[in-house]
Amino acid sequence: MKDLYRPTGIQRVSQSARTVEADHLATETLLRLNDANGTFVTLLGTPSHLDALFIGHCLCEGYAIEGTPTFSVKSTLAGGYDITYDLEVRMPNLEHDRTRMVTSSCGACDSSGLDSLIDTLPGYGKEHRMVTLTDLNEAFMQMSKLQDGFAKTGGMHGAALYFIGGEVQHVAEDIGRHNAVDKSVGLATLAEGIPDDAILLLSGRCGWDIVAKAARAGIGTLACRGACSTLAADAARSLGMRIYSFVKPTGCVAIGILGDDLEDKP
């Protein structure tokens, strides 16, 4: 877990004292994703599961990878990492700026007319399985136990896939919400793939950008501990997806198709 956090000297201040200690801080560094044509995106993120980050980022952003994924990972003199795929990654937008940087909090904020972006996403046309509030809370409890980075630092986002009636898998953490989602999707893709009934679990909030990633990955249901934005809700309804936000033992907020199926049955 050394890539998730590192001990750093800090001053701990209280009302009556100040002490010098070491505390574990979440690691954040430059991560460059490269293909045969060079760097196509630079991320700020946590250097764990880097092959999964590459695969997941491409899938969740609509990039196409040619051939069988083979990667090399090298550290840079500045302390970052180059993750390189030896073939070409095809961009959905021919005007894609290969010099741009995506920070740990970036979404689609460099695009104009966010409402129109809903129309560019694939709809979810598969049947939704019943999920209960008990299912979701048990899933979040499982994920929480596997979030080592958050337990150490208190400052890392988590994402995972939950399979109804099964276990939470592909738990990933990162300083950035989007990277955590990319890693979880990438881990699943590199393993057995993403089943139709997978639920994307988010330790924080759900914005349009996360709904967009889920839609491109073929995931129809998202559940989050935090809030849901207006555009995320609009996108879910438009695309035949569903979002369960503010999930807690006493209830949640259900948005989108089949939201009323969440109630536990005796």
Active site amino acids: 106
Crossing angle of helices 230-239 and 208-216, in 10° steps, is: 30
- Contact (CB, 8 A) for 125 and 240: yes
- Rounded to the nearest angstrom, the gap between the alpha carbon of residue 205 and the centroid of all alpha carbons in its chain is 11
Q: How far is CA 103 from CA 30, 152, 162, 252, in A?
A: 9, 23, 27, 30
- Contact (CB, 8 A) for 229 and 250: no
Closest CA to 61 of 127, 113, 122: 122
- Contact (CB, 8 A) for 144 and 212: no
- Contact (CB, 8 A) for 187 and 170: yes
- Contact (CB, 8 A) for 87 and 37: no
- Contact (CB, 8 A) for 46 and 175: yes
